[in-house]
Amino acid sequence: MALQTNYLATWQRQVRAALLVGLCAGGSLAAAAQAPTVAAARVPRAYTRAAHLMGSHFTFTAVSADDSLAWRALRAGLRETGRIDRLFSYWDSTSQVVKINRSAGVRPVAVDPEVYDLIERTLKISALSGGAFDVTFASGDKIYQFDRQEHPGLPDSATVRRSVQRIGWQKVRLDPAAHSVFLPEKGMRINLAGVLQGYGVRRAAETMKKMGIAGGLINGSGDVYCWGKQADGSGWRIAIGDPARPHAVSSWLTVSDLAVVTAGNYEQYFTVGGVYYGHIINPHTGYPATGLRSVTIICPDVELADALDDAVFVLGPVDGLALINRLKGVDATVITDAGQTLVSKGMQLNSYHSAAPTAAANPKP
């Protein structure tokens, strides 16, 4: 406002000078009438900040005509995501998640309502997906190395079975009166990594919206949520990567007020006999989920989308898309190991390939 006030004061002095010159010369007031009456309106533009949070790369974008507001909102969104990272960290010894894990088989741990509520929501997703999404996956033994190399074979079946003995979302005991969480077996652990980036993005977006940012986009390493419009008034165009060609795009869509969340096994994987085994483990079997290279979920809730992409990955192309087709307001597109793109019912996708995506009526693995 100070810059605008100074501009108006300068313009007013110039008008008075022009009037004085015109009157002294016997001229008309036409020249003064041609001067502008208000300062030019400020044009919205996009402001962006990047940060390393939750072990991933985040970018925060705010669209605003007020640069001071935009930068304040970006800092607030970043701080909110950092707060969530510390509160739910699997590694920080002061986090409430670590306290729950340390007390497994010993005692319940009272936690903040925010922590209790998120864990409760994840267990509901576990029930919805038949356990394909399971925050107790951290109870499993680490028996794989996802080094992008060819391995001679998979671990023996007995080792794999033992690795998942302590996994089981049904075992988690919640006490709503005490806001406590109890893992009944020693060695059990929870890890909210499968939903935490989505939750962090959602809370950051809510913070920025409350501050008056009408348009923005937050990308937490593939967990994208956008709202409003871009600076030029257009919608947000989100690209979906091509697993067969790193840094290339397989398809895109234009969205607003939606989350677009993608999970893939083309960055953390190993191969056996040319077959890809990605880092997403089937909690029922202990083996890496197979059949899909990429899963993208589109829905208004970025937290929900973040959980569903792992669930679909574990369920596979047929059962995974069947789950999505039962959910209102949720869509998905998946890319199979064979490179085929499948979509849920009603999904509109712009493909960069000549072949159109296959509808989910009779998806083929």
Give the type of residue at 251.
S
Q: What is the pLDDT of residue 19?
A: 28
Across the beta sheet with 180-182, what order do the strands follow?
Answer: 109-110, 180-182, 173-175
Segment 195-234, tens digit of pLDDT: 999 999 999 999 999 999 999 999 999 999 999 999 999 9
Q: What is the pLDDT of residue 357?
A: 58
Q: Three-class SS of residue 115?
A: helix
Q: Whole-model pTM?
A: 0.83
What is the C-alpha R_g of the chain? Answer: 27
Segment 265-276, tens digit of pLDDT: 878 899 999 888
Structure tokens that stand for 186 in this block: 């020693």
| Other beta carbons less than 10 A from residue 186's beta carbon | 10
Q: Cβ distance 291 to 339 under 8 Å? A: no
Cα–Cα distance measured from residue 194 to residue 350, given in angstroms and rounded to the nearest whole number: 27
Structure tokens that stand for 149 in this block: 């190399």
Q: Cβ distance 183 to 104 under 8 Å? A: yes
Packing angle of the helix pair 193-210, 113-128 (nearest 10 deg): 120
Cα–Cα distance measured from residue 210 to residue 260, given in angstroms and rounded to the nearest whole number: 22
Cα–Cα distance measured from residue 348 to residue 286, given in angstroms and rounded to the nearest whole number: 34
Give the type of residue at 363.
P
Each residue's pLDDT tens digit in the chain (365 positions)? 433 333 333 333 333 333 222 323 333 323 333 444 444 568 999 999 999 999 999 999 999 999 999 999 999 999 999 999 999 999 999 999 999 999 999 999 999 999 999 999 999 999 999 999 999 999 999 999 999 999 999 999 999 999 999 999 999 999 999 999 999 999 999 999 999 999 999 999 999 999 999 999 999 999 999 999 999 999 999 998 888 887 788 888 999 999 999 998 878 899 999 888 999 999 999 999 999 999 999 999 999 999 999 999 999 999 999 999 999 999 999 999 888 999 999 888 887 754 455 554 444 33
Q: What is the pLDDT of residue 348?
A: 84
Cα–Cα distance measured from residue 336 to residue 340, given in angstroms and rounded to the nearest whole number: 5
Q: What is the pLDDT of residue 232?
A: 95
